[in-house]
Amino acid sequence: MKQPLLLFLFYLLTFTLVHAQGTVTVAGRVTDAGNNDPLIGASIQVRGTTLGAQTDANGGFTIANVPSDATLVVSYIGYIDQTIAVNGQTSINIQLQPASTELQQVVVVGYGTQQKRDVTGSISSVKSQEFERQSSQNPVSSIQGKVAGVQVTNSGAPGASPQIRVRGVGSAQGGVEPLYVVDGTFVSDLSFLNPADIESMEILKDASSASIYGIRAANGVVIVTTKRGKAGQARINYNGFVGVQRVTNKLEMTDAREYTELYNEKNAPNTLTPNLPSTDWYDQILRTAMINNHQVSASGGSEKMTYSVSAGYLNQEGIVEGHKYERITARAQQDLNLSSRIKVGYSGIFYGFRSRDIPGSIFYEAFVLPPIVPVRKPNGFYGDPANFPIGNFANPQASLDWYNQRSNGQRLTGNAFGEWNFLNAFTFRTSLGLDYAINEFRNFRSEDSLTTIQKSETSFLRRSRSKANSWLWENTLTFQKTFGDHELTVLAGTSSQEAFNETLGGTVEGVTYETEANLYLENGNQTTLRAFNSAGREKFLSYFGRINYSFMGKYLLTATLRYDGSSKYPKSDQYDYFPSIGLGWVLSEESFMKNQEVINFLKLRASWGKLGNNNVQPNITSTPVSNLPRYIAFFNGIPNSGSNVTYVPPPTLLWEVVKETDIGVEFAFLNNRLTFEADWYNKETENGVFTIPLIGTAGAENSSITGNYATFRNRGIELAARWNTNIGNDFSYSIGVNFAKNKNEVIGLATGNTSLAAGDLGLGGYFSTISRVGLPIGSFYGYIVDGIFQSDVEADESAQPNASAGDFRYRDLNGDNTIDERDKAVLGNPNPGILYGINTSFTYKNIDLQIDIQGVADVDIYNGNRNIRFGNENYDQDFYDNRWRGPGTSNTYPSADLTGSNLDPNSFYVESGDYIRIRNLQLGYTFPTTTISRLKMQGLRIFLNAQNPLTIFDYNGFSPEVGGPSPVSYGIDRNVYPLSATYNLGVNVTF
């Protein structure tokens, strides 16, 4: 594959060689095309070289040694780039048009940049300003509701990364997170990045734009470009805020009186004495938490060298008592022009965090523990649920106090590159990326007896350290040349990568010294010492190329090809081709569109491409030896190691293949004040990884095997519009609206009519979801509730003779007068059908206001908290208010006796997950230049910010943002970290 490409490059090279000519010195001035004001700090670049200059205070510039046939590229933030052929001229004055629409902006594509107007695929771009005008701690949270077709599901936990899905879920059991590329380095999430360090974030949504990343691009690609220094005076900036976080939409539970009433209804009258004191467990564990964030940055440089450095500190408390997260971020970047043709540079990002953690099940514990249990007894001991006739429960306060876990991690992500421009048209770039991360935690459970079930005979210490490091070496050669009406860019490259990870840890009992300094494995009872150690290694080898061709700026073509190899797969099947093609037609450049004023820009585009998802378990194809603790045999009480071959691997397991078609249209109307973009896409995942049950006679340790059995489809539309204008000189505003509709479906299964049950509720084989042909991935599944039995007689006469009054009446779907597996039906869909966002910005004189609204509709949640009951768990207020409590009281809510068949997954527990939220509200005031120049400041802005101040939903839970461990077990509410609103006061100073 590489040979024709090299030949082609060779041809281009010789073609250019023949045309090489002499050099000139060019001088001139850059001004605003509207008012002729000089543009200070505009960049003039000689294409294909590192030659360039910045305009001075008068907009002037001079560049020596410019090849006389060179092309100048002039750019300035907020203006449209202009290219000018030198053609031997020595004096060139340039007038730049303000870029009033995003169509004219430059977007980052894989291994290069393009003007948005020339892009043939679907790329959404979020610029630094969008990150600055909100105070999210995670960059991914910042784009929630900003980009059509991108679903962001937040976790309320400090330091946690949101789940992000581009155009639905394309995989049931493989990874569904997009690929993140930070300054050319592949990373798996962005939690190590400070949003304030981001210059732009591009989301490559369709195959034509993403397929340059081949086997990793199936879930979309998020390219993050961090800020780089610009030549000119040093700019020093401080950006900080302090604030508080408070839980919103607190779930009301019953109080002691109400609970007692329910308990007595469930069990027997008067079994629980009334008038017990009441504890609100959520009030007990939740708190108002502090957050503060500081970031200092400096950037600047000269023609020869530019730099930027920054350091940030975040201190965030969780809304649960004891939860704390601290983050340090630091970044340094430098670009050096060694000669007029050679440029080198590097960027490095350091990230460090430490946290005090909370037990994973604390929210579930607080949900289930009846309010009749006190936090503490009069004697000061923890309130013990065992003192009440309610069964085994943990006291959440005791859980919090007993839990002792600290985590910390450090990560260094860096990239160094060298760039060589030659023959005015070629750029060779080599870049080496390194990523090194360490994560540690230590968990200590002291020897203690807090309640009947929260006790430990011996202390227990676990320490673990995991390390991940990788290198990535990429080489690209870019050819860029304009031949008359033909503009051609050709890219060819290679990429190789190795990633390694290892976890090493141990556990020990009987550590009797409990100070932090003594919590090490060596201080425990050495006869109980155990170690664990595992690792993984993966390598990639890839070749890729891209051709961008434009004729008269009217007809656009993008073709890419990537040839990817991965060590995850068996030797015979390590490589695959990932091609794509995109076509664009800028109608507004056609003569028949020239004589009208309404439409300023109109482009039709269509693309098709193939992508891969290699995010499936590695080495699954080789049969491992199972050396499991449960295979240890005891003889005379002495353990003897046991191992065997018990895992049955699938025949072969390869990457998933996504083939995606995208058809789009882009408009700009009314002097570019209104822009509109629409896309239709059809994304089909072939060879989808799907688990099928393994026949029992195989006797395998695994009850199922995973193979490339399924075909999935996501099909939908995306609309985005923005209205941008000003009224007079003092008031300007912009309103952006985006909307996306997606339909997800399993459309084929090679193994026939099998289905995959998942969403285990932990009740002993109660699965709440199913994935099978014709349904969305992970559909909720169970019995349909047809009402409530109003009397025992009614139940006796039904298909559920063992049921009693107040129990669910399930629909007997097959009419055989028994209720069993065959009567189960699809109850809901956890994959949102509709995502939307409204992003507004208003500026009046020095005051600015942003309001961002975001919502999700056509989605369901499985209320696991209500369903997962073992006995006398607490009830939510809504249940208390509406429950069945005698004939005729309710035909929708059951009685308090939620046991037995009432716990089978059923439609009662499936609720609408629709919500609408004010995601970000920011009011800012920018001090006038006259005021602050006396303080030697260049800029000063103060702001008030509210994040998630209002979320509206019907769901009976803390948060409609539920998420889940995998697409087949998604949207099941079990112990979700409650969402909170954050209110901040911040300041931004530039010197």
Q: How far is the CB of 274 from another protein (least distance, A)?
A: 20
Nearer to another protein, 78 or 900 (CB): 900
Q: Which residues, numbered 846-905, are part of the site for another protein (CB under 8 A)?
A: 869-871, 897-901, 903
Stretch touching another protein by CB under 8 A, among 91-99, 560-568, 739-747, 957-965: 560-568
Q: How far is the CB of 897 from another protein (least distance, A)?
A: 8
Q: How far is the CB of 532 from another protein (least distance, A)?
A: 10
**What single string gives the DSSP state of each residue in 668-709?**
EETTTTEEEEEEEEEEEEEEEEEEEEPPGGG--SSSEEEEEE
Short-list 866, 780, 762, 904, CA closest to 830: 780
Amino acid at 29: R
- Residue 769 near residue 830, CB atoms below 8 Å: yes
Can you read off the two tokens belonging to residue 212? 């340059």
Q: Which residues, numbered 378-437, are part of the site for another protein (CB under 8 A)?
A: 386, 389, 391-392, 420, 422-423, 428, 430
Q: Which residues, numbered 175-194, are part of the site for another protein (CB under 8 A)?
A: none
- The three-class DSSP label of residue 581 is strand
Q: How far is the CB of 350 from another protein (least distance, A)?
A: 27
Question: Of the candidates 412, 700, 849, 923, which one interacts with another protein according to CB under 8 A?
Answer: 700
Stretch touching another protein by CB under 8 A, among 503-511, 580-588, 603-611, 978-986: 503-511
Q: How far is the CB of 882 from another protein (least distance, A)?
A: 21
Stretch touching another protein by CB under 8 A, among 55-63, 98-106, 287-295, 525-533: 525-533
494 touches another protein (CB under 8 A): yes
Q: How far is the CB of 810 from another protein (least distance, A)?
A: 14
686 touches another protein (CB under 8 A): no
Question: Of the candidates 57, 268, 638, 727, which one interacts with another protein according to CB under 8 A?
Answer: 638
Stretch touching another protein by CB under 8 A, among 117-125, 304-312, 539-547, 731-739: 539-547
Question: Of the candidates 288, 703, 892, 929, which one interacts with another protein according to CB under 8 A?
Answer: 703
Contacts of 594 (CB under 8 A, 6+ apart): none
Short-list 254, 41, 101, CA closest to 872: 254
Question: Of the candidates 572, 591, 596, 636, which one interacts with another protein according to CB under 8 A?
Answer: 636
Nearer to another protein, 703 or 846 (CB): 703
Short-list 220, 166, 122, 106, CA closest to 665: 122
931 burial (CB, 10 Å; 0-12 / 13-18 / 19+) is exposed
Contacts of 262 (CB under 8 A, 6+ apart): 254, 875, 880, 883, 896
Q: How far is the CB of 428 from another protein (least distance, A)?
A: 6
Q: How far is the CB of 361 from another protein (least distance, A)?
A: 18
CA pair distance 118, 603, nearest whole angstrom: 9
- The three-class DSSP label of residue 370 is coil
Q: How far is the CB of 225 from another protein (least distance, A)?
A: 24
Could you tell me which residues are beta bridge partners of residue 688?
A: 710
Place of tokens 């193994």: 751
Q: How far is the CB of 984 from another protein (least distance, A)?
A: 45
635 touches another protein (CB under 8 A): yes
Contact letters (x/-) for another protein, 540-559, by CB under 8 A? -x-x----------------
Nearer to another protein, 60 or 391 (CB): 391
Nearer to another protein, 694 or 737 (CB): 694
750 touches another protein (CB under 8 A): no
Nearer to another protein, 477 or 785 (CB): 477
Q: Which residues, numbered 757-776, are part of the site for another protein (CB under 8 A)?
A: 764-765
Q: Which residues, numbered 250-289, are part of the site for another protein (CB under 8 A)?
A: none
**What single string gives the DSSP state of each residue in 323-378?**
-EEEEEEEEEEEEEE-SSSEEEEEEEEEEEEEEE---TTHHHHHHHS-TTS-SB-T
CA pair distance 428, 503, nearest whole angstrom: 38
**H or E stretch covering 14:** helix 2-18
- Residue 397 near residue 324, CB atoms below 8 Å: no
Q: How far is the CB of 662 from another protein (least distance, A)?
A: 32
- Residue 852 near residue 836, CB atoms below 8 Å: no
Nearer to another protein, 515 or 697 (CB): 697
Q: How far is the CB of 89 from another protein (least distance, A)?
A: 24
Q: Which residues, numbered 39-68, are part of the site for another protein (CB under 8 A)?
A: none
- Residue 190 near residue 160, CB atoms below 8 Å: no
640 touches another protein (CB under 8 A): yes
Q: How far is the CB of 219 from another protein (least distance, A)?
A: 23
Nearer to another protein, 35 or 270 (CB): 270
Q: Which residues, numbered 605-624, are part of the site for another protein (CB under 8 A)?
A: 618-619, 622-624
Stretch touching another protein by CB under 8 A, among 32-40, 108-116, 218-226, 535-543: 535-543
Give long-range contacts, CB 8 A cutoff, 24+ apart: 97-100: 97/33, 97/34, 98/32, 98/33, 98/34, 100/671, 100/672, 100/673, 100/724
CA pair distance 964, 969, nearest whole angstrom: 6
Nearer to another protein, 225 or 452 (CB): 452
725 touches another protein (CB under 8 A): no
- Residue 985 near residue 243, CB atoms below 8 Å: yes
Q: Which residues, numbered 565-604, are part of the site for another protein (CB under 8 A)?
A: 565-567, 571, 574
Q: Which residues, numbered 457-486, are part of the site for another protein (CB under 8 A)?
A: 457-458, 473, 475, 477
Question: Of the candidates 38, 88, 579, 693, which one interacts with another protein according to CB under 8 A?
Answer: 693
449 burial (CB, 10 Å; 0-12 / 13-18 / 19+) is exposed
Nearer to another protein, 517 or 633 (CB): 633
Mode of pairing for the β-strands spanning 232-247 and 289-301: antiparallel
Q: How many residues bind another protein (CB under 8 A)?
A: 99
Q: How far is the CB of 753 from another protein (least distance, A)?
A: 9
Q: Which residues, numbered 821-840, are part of the site for another protein (CB under 8 A)?
A: 821
Can you read off the two tokens belonging to residue 205? 């949504």
Nearer to another protein, 78 or 624 (CB): 624
CA pair distance 529, 523, nearest whole angstrom: 10
CA pair distance 817, 778, nearest whole angstrom: 28
Q: Which residues, numbered 319-358, are part of the site for another protein (CB under 8 A)?
A: none
Can you read off the two tokens belonging to residue 331? 């970044």
**How many other β-carbons are positioned within 10 Å of the β-carbon of residue 284?**
16
Question: Of the candidates 405, 407, 507, 889, which one interacts with another protein according to CB under 8 A?
Answer: 507
Q: How far is the CB of 298 from another protein (least distance, A)?
A: 35
Mode of pairing for the β-strands spanning 756-760 and 767-771: antiparallel
**How many other β-carbons are positioned within 10 Å of the β-carbon of residue 40?**
15
Can you read off the two tokens belonging to residue 137? 């701690």
CA pair distance 86, 28, nearest whole angstrom: 12
Stretch touching another protein by CB under 8 A, among 311-319, 499-507, 918-926, 959-967: 499-507
- Residue 725 near residue 733, CB atoms below 8 Å: yes
**How many other β-carbons are positioned within 10 Å of the β-carbon of residue 25?**
11
630 touches another protein (CB under 8 A): yes
- Residue 372 near residue 275, CB atoms below 8 Å: no
What is the gyration radius of the CA atoms in the chain, in angstroms? 31
Stretch touching another protein by CB under 8 A, among 235-243, 325-333, 343-351, 815-823: 815-823
Could you tell me which residues are beta bridge partners of residue 734?
A: 724, 841
CA 757 to chain centre: 26
Q: How far is the CB of 396 from another protein (least distance, A)?
A: 20
